[in-house]
Amino acid sequence: MLTKLAVSTHEEVYRVADAETGLRGFIALHSTRLGPAAGGLRMRAYDSEDAALADVLNLSRGMSYKNAAAGLPLGGGKAVILGDPERDKSPALLRAMGRAVARLEGRYWTAEDMGMTPADMAEIARETAHVAGLETGAHASGDPSPVTAQGVFNAMRLGLQHRTGSADLAGCRVAVQGLGHVGWHLCRLLHAAGADLVVADMNAGRAARAAGAFDAAQAEPEEVHAVAADVFAPCAIGGILNATTVPQIRAGLVAGAANNQLAAPERETAQALHARGILYLPDYVANGGGIINAAAEILAIADRQPWVAEKLAALESTMARILDRAAAEGLSPAEVADRTVEEMMLKAAG
Residues 202-231 that bind ligand NAD (CB under 6 A): 202-203, 206, 221
* Amino acid found at 170: A
In this chain, which of 57, 199, 200, 322 binds ligand NAD, going by CB under 6 A? 200
Q: Which residue lies nearer to ligand NAD by CB, 132 or 172?
A: 132
Q: How far is the CB of 315 from ligand NAD (least distance, A)?
A: 12
Provide the mask over 128-167, with x wherever binding to ligand NAD is found by CB under 6 A and - wherever it is not.
----------------xx--x-------------------
Find out whether 258 and 237 touch, Cβ atoms under 8 Å.
Answer: yes
CA distance 28 to 6: 11
Q: Quick one: angle between helices 145-164 and 181-192, nearest 10?
A: 50
Stretch that binds ligand NAD, among 1-9, 199-207, 271-279, 299-307 (CB under 6 A): 199-207
Looking at beta carbons only, is 21 or 218 nearer to ligand NAD?
A: 218
The answer, yes or no, to whether the previous bond of 234 is cis (omega within 30 of 0) is: no
SS3 217: strand
Min separation Cβ 286 and ligand NAD, Å: 9
Beta bridge mates, 131: 110
CB atoms within 10 A of CB 246: 23
Does 257 sit near ligand NAD (CB under 6 A)?
Answer: yes
Active site residues: 78
| Centroid of chain to Cα 181 | 12
DSSP string, 87-144: TT--HHHHHHHHHHHHHTTTSEEB-B-TT--HHHHHHHTTT-S-B-S-SSSTT-----
Of the candidate spans 14-22, 102-110, 123-131, 255-263, the one that interacts with ligand NAD by CB under 6 A turns out to be: 255-263
Nearer to ligand NAD, 67 or 127 (CB): 67
Binding mask 297-326 for ligand NAD (x = CB under 6 A): ------------------------------
Can you give the binding site for ligand NAD, defined by CB under 6 A?
A: 144-145, 148, 177-183, 200-203, 206, 221, 235-237, 257-259, 287, 290
